[in-house]
Amino acid sequence: MPSPNTDSSSPVITREQLLHQWQGHRGLTRRVIDAFPENDLFNYSIGGMRTFAVLAMEFIGMAVPTLQGMINGEWPSTKPDPPTTKADLLKLWDSTTEEIEKLWPTIPPARFQETDTAFGQWKMPIYGLLLYIIDNEIHHRGQGYVYLRALGVEPPPFYDRP
Amino acid sequence: MPSPNTDSSSPVITREQLLHQWQGHRGLTRRVIDAFPENDLFNYSIGGMRTFAVLAMEFIGMAVPTLQGMINGEWPSTKPDPPTTKADLLKLWDSTTEEIEKLWPTIPPARFQETDTAFGQWKMPIYGLLLYIIDNEIHHRGQGYVYLRALGVEPPPFYDRP
């Protein structure tokens, strides 16, 4: 039985915890990318869906531009060219990871509760936007797990996100 | 450009927002269950993975018992019997939705930041446990999207979570 602590100013989650949560998921997605055989990463799919390489590029394309918009209200539309090898995709993944670590502390604290029109299209609270891109990655990564299982490859454990 | 609001006491997300986020995901999962043809819901799978009915029962089995443990530190291990029709599964889903709405306001505020050993097994912060069960649902629902696509059924849009 926990102590009856009822301090209502206690946060649900702090920004450091949310970053850790996000990067934990991104670390798992990196292991899923790496689990794919090179050729299947760029060519395999089920039911007409996108390949996992294309999905990974979607995650990369959303992460830093979203953070930049969160920080200063400008939503860049530039996208990196899609790599053609697993090694290059993982390299781009890792540079995105570093960029997130660098940008995160510069988000103005009150920004999470503000509403903005992201990329001129999606009007929503900033915390909701951030959860959207994390959830989108979890959603499509789940799709990648099915690709791996169908290919006879054991995916990395879902719960393992140090 | 947003106003330079730097109030560091502004929360990342409030408990009401997190509930809304969770129930939004649960509403989408309900539509995914409903999109399955009755027989495929209980029998179809890819790569030796679980059927979507079994996955839906995992989500149901985690939701209320986790909330109960969050509230009072006791982690019930009882599980409802798995329904054998889509209508009964949706009925059980809806009663879980109501139960979550009822229990949520009774979580002691400081509990989210406490660490506990959930179900005698998983020692983690409570906010992390809650995100785990939401993420687990998103992850496996993504798997359900592949099942639906492979069956030639258009899944409900991922972004539609009113």
Q: Which CATH class is domain B15-150?
A: mainly alpha
Question: What residues in B contact A143, CB-CB < 8 Å?
Answer: 142-143, 145-146
CATH topology of domain A19-150: Four Helix Bundle (Hemerythrin (Met), subunit A) (1.20.120)
Which pTM value belongs to this model? 0.94
Per-residue model confidence as pLDDT tens digits over A63-108: 999 999 999 999 998 888 999 999 999 999 999 999 999 999 999 9
B1 touches chain A (CB under 8 A): yes
Element (H, E) at A21: helix A15-35
Per-residue model confidence as pLDDT tens digits over A96-143: 999 999 999 999 999 999 999 999 999 999 999 999 999 999 999 999
Q: What is the dihedral of CA B37, A139, A51, A33, to 10 degrees?
A: -140
Per-residue model confidence as pLDDT tens digits over B10-55: 899 999 999 999 999 999 999 999 999 999 999 999 999 999 999 9
B125 touches chain A (CB under 8 A): yes
- Nearest Cα neighbor of A12 from A112, A104, A111 is A112
- Mapping DSSP to helix (H, G, I), strand (E, B) and coil, where does residue A146 land? helix
Please state, in angstroms and rounded to a whole number, the distance separating the CA atoms of residues A157 and B33.
24
Please state, in angstroms and rounded to a whole number, the distance separating the CA atoms of residues A108 and A93.
25
B18, B47, B125 member nearest A149 (Cβ): B47
Interface size between A and B, measured as CB pairs under 8 A: 156
Question: What residues in A contact B146, CB-CB < 8 Å?
Answer: 46-47, 49, 143, 146-147
Instruction: Give the residues across from B116 on adjacent strands.
Output: B124
Cβ distance B158 to A139 less than 8 Å, yes or no, reads yes
Q: ipTM value of the model?
A: 0.94
**Better-scored residue on pLDDT, A9 or B13:** B13
Domain ranges of chain B: 15-150
One-letter amino acid for residue A109 of the chain: P
Task: Tell me: pLDDT of A5 over 70.
Answer: no
pLDDT band at B77 (very low <50, low <70, confident <90, very high): confident
- Nearest Cα neighbor of A132 from A123, A41, A46, B100 is A123
Please state, in angstroms and rounded to a whole number, the distance separating the CA atoms of residues A130 and A108.
14
Residue of A nearest to B16 (CA): A12
